[in-house]
Structure 1
Amino acid sequence: MKIKELMAFDDGLFLLLDEHSFSEVRGITTLDFLKSGHLLFINSPKYLKKLEEDLENPVFAEMGLVIDEKLLKNLEQDPLWHSAKEKFAIIFKSSHFERTMCLLSKIFFDETFKGIDMMVDGREDGTANIDPSAQMAGNLFIGQNVELGKNVKLMNGVSIMAGSKIGDDTIIFPGVTIYANVSVGKRCRIHASSSLGTDGFGYNFIDGVHHKLWHFGGVMIEDDVEIGASSAIDGGTFSPTVIGTGTKIDNHVQVGHNVILGRGVILCGQVGISGSCRIDDYSLFAGKAGIGQGLIIGKGVQVAGGALVSQGWPDGSIIAGHPARPLKEWLKGVAHLRKSSLKK
Structure 2
Amino acid sequence: MTDLSFFPPFPPVSLSQIAEWAGAELQGGDGAVMISAVAPLEEAGEGTLVFFDNTAYLDALGQTKAAACLVAKKHAGKVPEGVTALVCGEAYRSWAQVLAKLYPTAMLPAVQAQSGVSERASVHADAKLEAGVHVSVGAVIGARAEIGSGTRIEANAVIGDNVRIGRNCVVGPNVVVQHSLIGNDVYLHPGVAIGQDGFGYAMGAGGHVKVPQVGRVIIQDKVEIGANTTVDRGANRDTVIGEGTKIDNQVQIGHNVVIGRHCVIVSQVGISGSSTLEDYVAIGGQSGVRGHVTIGMGAQIAAVSSVSDDIPAGGRYGGTPAKPVKQWFRELAALRKLAQRGKDA
Asked whether 1:194 is paired with 2:192, we answer yes
Deviations 1:163-201 (A, max 9, x none): 10110000111110112x201110010000010001001
* Partner AA of 1:138 in structure 2: V
Q: Match of 2:21?
A: none
Contact 2:252/2:268 (CA < 8 Å) preserved in 1? yes
Report deviation, 1:206: 3.0
For the Cα contact (< 8 Å) 1:122–1:128, is it kept in 2? no
Q: Which residue of 1 aligns with 2:131?
A: 132
Given candidates 286, 289, 310, the residue that maps to 2:287 is 289
- Give secondary structure in 2 for the equivalent of 1:209: coil
Counterpart of 1:218? 216
**Residues in 1 aligned to 2:141 and 2:237: alpha-carbon distance in whole angstroms:** 23
Query: Between Structure 1 and Structure 2, how many residues are aligned?
Result: 222
Q: Which residue of 1 aligns with 2:153?
A: 154
Deviation at 1:254, TM superposition (A): 0.3
Q: Spell out, residue by residue over 1:297-319, the C-alpha distance to the aligned partner (whole angstroms, 9 max, x if none).
A: 11000000000001001110000
Match of 2:17 in 1: none
Q: Is 1:263 equivalent to 2:261 in the alignment? A: yes
- Please tell me the residue identity of whatever aligns with 2:129: I
* Contact kept? 1:122, 1:144, Cα under 8 Å: no
Task: Return the match for 2:226 from 218, 225, 228.
Answer: 228
* Per-residue Cα deviation, 1:18-71 (whole angstroms, up to 9, x for no partner): xxxxxxxxxxxxxxxxxxxxxxxxxxxxxxxxxxxxxxxxxxxxxxxxxxxxxx
| Aligned-partner Cα distance in 1 for 2:226–2:273 | 20
**Which structure 2 residue ranges, 5 or more long, are not aligned?**
1-120
Contact preservation (8 Å) 1:226, 1:247: yes
The alignment partner of 1:257 has SS state of coil
Larger RCO (CA under 8 A, 6+ residues apart): 1
Question: What code does the residue aligned with 2:168 have?
Answer: D
TM-score, normalization by structure 2: 0.63
Partner of 2:140: 141
| Change over 3 Å in CA distance of 1:312–1:283 after alignment to 2 | same
Long gaps (5+) in structure 1: 1-120
Counterpart in 1 of 2:301? 303
What is the percentage of aligned positions where both structures have the same residue?
Answer: 36
In the superposition, the TM-score normalised over structure 1's length comes to: 0.63
1:240 Cα deviation (Å)? 1.2
Cα deviation 1:50-101 (Å, max 9, x = unaligned):
xxxxxxxxxxxxxxxxxxxxxxxxxxxxxxxxxxxxxxxxxxxxxxxxxxxx
CA contact 1:267–1:285 (8 Å) conserved in 2: yes
Matching of residue 170 in structure 1 with residue 172 in structure 2? no
Distance 1:314 1:238 in 2: 27
Q: Which moved more, 1:198-207 or 1:164-173?
A: 198-207
- Distance (whole Å) between structure 1 residues aligned to residue 316 and residue 167 of structure 2: 36
